[in-house]
């Protein structure tokens, strides 16, 4: 197995050496004052990455899925109604989690490849005169289809309907890579994990709660123990945890936040856009459309690329892995077999991206797809050389 190639899956992402070293530390006593020197900067860093002044930040030993559960179980009661669009595998899984928690989900079925239909949300919220809907769930970046939704527009729809529901946003594959504005968008709960924009191994669920979400905790009746943010928050006051924290990962999180903030969030987002534009130039040269239905919803962290009818895209991914030792993302759910995905988030350069595009072309040629070797590479090279990266 070659570990020298970068991965092109949309998480877990490539781990830079300095972050790997930050995670690899000797055991410390997590009840000693040393732990506070990791915990507090990590919390402050996450808050800044979310663009929030005073969100309560909670970090659990878990993954993004645990973050969904944290959001729901701390603020809602059995039978509560929530509103969500289903436009890909991740929004589907969050809906499933809600249903298994005994919530009623008003599902807006949305074509995979499209973003959250904010106008439809506004109609539904305006019609909900009794304010039965307690929360609106929004998957900012549908990792299955490479579709970014407009969270500002969802907030606008809620305000236009004068609806008091909370806004919960899954930012697992956007936070730390694409612009995310917790305060400006009026987000009540943001959810992410460690292994995507933060460039860490999997193992942390990272959530931010607004004052309104914090206020909902007292009346919420869904059972919670491990994910109870009240226990977590009380412990943080003593620089401690209600149980054993994942200390190494949290030290890595502190370092990752420092790195993102030192680069400058706007520069981080611009870097992701540039890298993504190179990949998109390559897909145009290949004549293969993105699953994303329009330019305005194209994700800067992952591209889902449609393969020709009759071609099983799963073969692309397995051939790339076995022949070239390079990982691409498979199609999930409705688009299984129909798309492969190039993850382009986290620690990535133009040069690394070009290697992924070149590998994708070799795979397509091997499998008989009508692609001229070098066509996508040349298109991306042309984009990268005429739009050079900022060097500090």
CB of 183 to ligand PLP, least distance (A): 21
Q: How far is the CB of 209 from ligand PLP (least distance, A)?
A: 18
Smallest distance, ligand PLP to C-beta of residue 194, A: 8
Q: Quick check: 6 binds ligand PLP (CB under 6 A)?
A: no
Whole-number Cα distances in Å, 41 to 18, 35, 142, 252? 17, 10, 30, 11
**At closest approach, how far in Å is the CB of 175 from ligand PLP?**
10
CB-wise, 11 or 252, nearer to ligand PLP?
11
In the complex, what is the shortest distance from the CB of residue 170 to ligand PLP, in angstroms, rounded to a whole number? 5
Chain residue at closest Cβ approach to ligand PLP: 64
The answer to the question of residue 65 lying near ligand PLP (CB under 6 A) is yes
With CB under 6 A as the contact rule, which of the stretches 34-42, 43-51, 138-146, 290-298 interacts with ligand PLP? 138-146
Beta bridge partners of 112: 114
From its phi and psi, is residue 310 left (phi > 0), alpha (psi between -120 and 50) or beta?
left
Neighbours of 222 (CB within 10 A): 17
Q: Which is nearer to ligand PLP, 249 or 354 (CB)?
A: 249
The angle subtended at Cα 291 by Cα 288 and Cα 296, nearest 5°, is 110
CA nearest 172: which of 91, 96, 55? 91
Helical segments of 264-374, H only = 265-286, 313-324, 350-366
Q: Cβ contacts of residue 151 below 8 Å, gap of 6+?
A: 138, 140, 167, 169, 180, 181, 185, 187
For ligand PLP, the binding residues in 193-252 under the rule CB under 6 A are 193, 202
End-to-end CA, the chain? 35
**172 binds ligand PLP per the rule CB under 6 A:** yes
Decide if residue 333 touches ligand PLP (CB under 6 A): no
- Coil, strand, or helix at residue 178? coil
The Cα–Cα gap between 15 and 235 comes to: 30
Stretches 57-65, 213-221, 239-247, 249-257: which one binds ligand PLP (CB under 6 A)? 57-65
Q: How far is the CB of 93 from ligand PLP (least distance, A)?
A: 7
Site residues for ligand PLP, 285-314, by CB under 6 A, read none
∠ CA 99-101-107, nearest 5°, is 25
Among 6, 11, 113, 356, which residue interacts with ligand PLP (rule: CB under 6 A)?
11
Q: Using CA atoms, how far apart are residues 147 and 112, in angstroms rounded to an integer?
A: 9
C-beta of 208 vs 376, nearer to ligand PLP: 208
CA–CA gap between residue 211 and residue 178 (Å, rounded): 24
Q: How many chain residues touch ligand PLP (CB under 6 A)? A: 13
Report how far residue 254's alpha carbon sits from residue 207's, in angstroms, rounded to the nearest whole number: 15
Q: By CB under 6 A, name the one of 170, 179, 188, 361 that touches ligand PLP.
A: 170
Q: Which residues within the stretch 24-43 sit at the binding site for ligand PLP (CB under 6 A)?
A: none
User: Which of 65/267 has CB closer to ligand PLP?
Assistant: 65
**Pattern 74-93, ligand PLP, x by CB under 6 A:** ----------------x---
Q: Is 168 in the site for ligand PLP (CB under 6 A)?
A: no
Question: Residues in the site for ligand PLP, rule: CB under 6 A?
Answer: 11, 63-65, 90, 139, 141, 143, 170, 172-173, 193, 202
């Amino acid at each position: 197995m070659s570990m020298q190639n970068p991965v092109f899956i949309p998480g877990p992402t490539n781990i830079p050496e300095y972050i790997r070293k930050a995670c690899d530390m000797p055991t410390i006593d997590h009840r000693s004052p040393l732990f506070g020197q990791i915990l507090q900067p990590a919390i402050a860093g996450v808050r800044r990455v979310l663009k929030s002044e005073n969100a309560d930040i909670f970090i659990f030993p878990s993954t993004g899925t645990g973050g969904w559960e944290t959001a729901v179980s701390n603020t809602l009661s059995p039978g509560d109604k929530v509103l969500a669009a289903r436009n890909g595998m991740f929004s589907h899984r969050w809906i499933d989690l809600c249903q298994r928690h005994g919530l009623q989900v008003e599902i807006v079925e949305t074509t995979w490849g499209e973003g959250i239909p904010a106008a439809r949300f506004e109609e539904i919220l305006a019609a909900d005169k009794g304010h039965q809907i307690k929360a609106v769930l929004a998957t900012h970046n549908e990792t299955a289809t490479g579709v970014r939704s407009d969270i500002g527009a969802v907030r606008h729809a809620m305000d236009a309907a004068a609806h008091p529901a909370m806004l919960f946003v899954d930012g697992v594959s956007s936070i730390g890579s694409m612009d995310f504005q917790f305060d400006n968008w009026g987000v009540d709960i943001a959810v992410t994990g460690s292994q995507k924009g933060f460039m860490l191994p999997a193992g942390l669920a990272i959530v931010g709660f607004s004052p309104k979400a914090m206020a909902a905790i007292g009346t919420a009746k869904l059972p919670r123990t491990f994910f109870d943010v009240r226990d977590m928050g009380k412990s943080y006051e003593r620089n401690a945890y209600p149980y054993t924290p994942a200390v190494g990962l949290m030290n890595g999180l502190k370092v990752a936040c420092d790195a993102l903030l030192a680069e400058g969030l706007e520069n981080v987002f611009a870097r992701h856009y540039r890298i993504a534009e190179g990949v998109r130039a390559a897909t145009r040269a290949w004549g293969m459309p993105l699953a994303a239905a329009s330019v305005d919803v194209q994700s800067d962290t992952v591209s889902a690329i449609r393969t020709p009818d009759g071609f099983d895209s799963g073969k692309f991914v397995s051939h790339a892995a076995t022949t070239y030792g390079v990982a691409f993302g498979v199609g999930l759910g409705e688009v299984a077999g129909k798309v492969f995905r190039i993850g382009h988030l986290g620690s990535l350069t133009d040069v690394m991206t070009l290697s992924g595009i070149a590998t994708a072309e070799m795979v397509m040629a091997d499998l008989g797809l009508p692609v001229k070797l070098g066509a996508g590479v040349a298109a991306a090279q042309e984009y990268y050389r005429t739009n050079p990266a900022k060097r500090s």
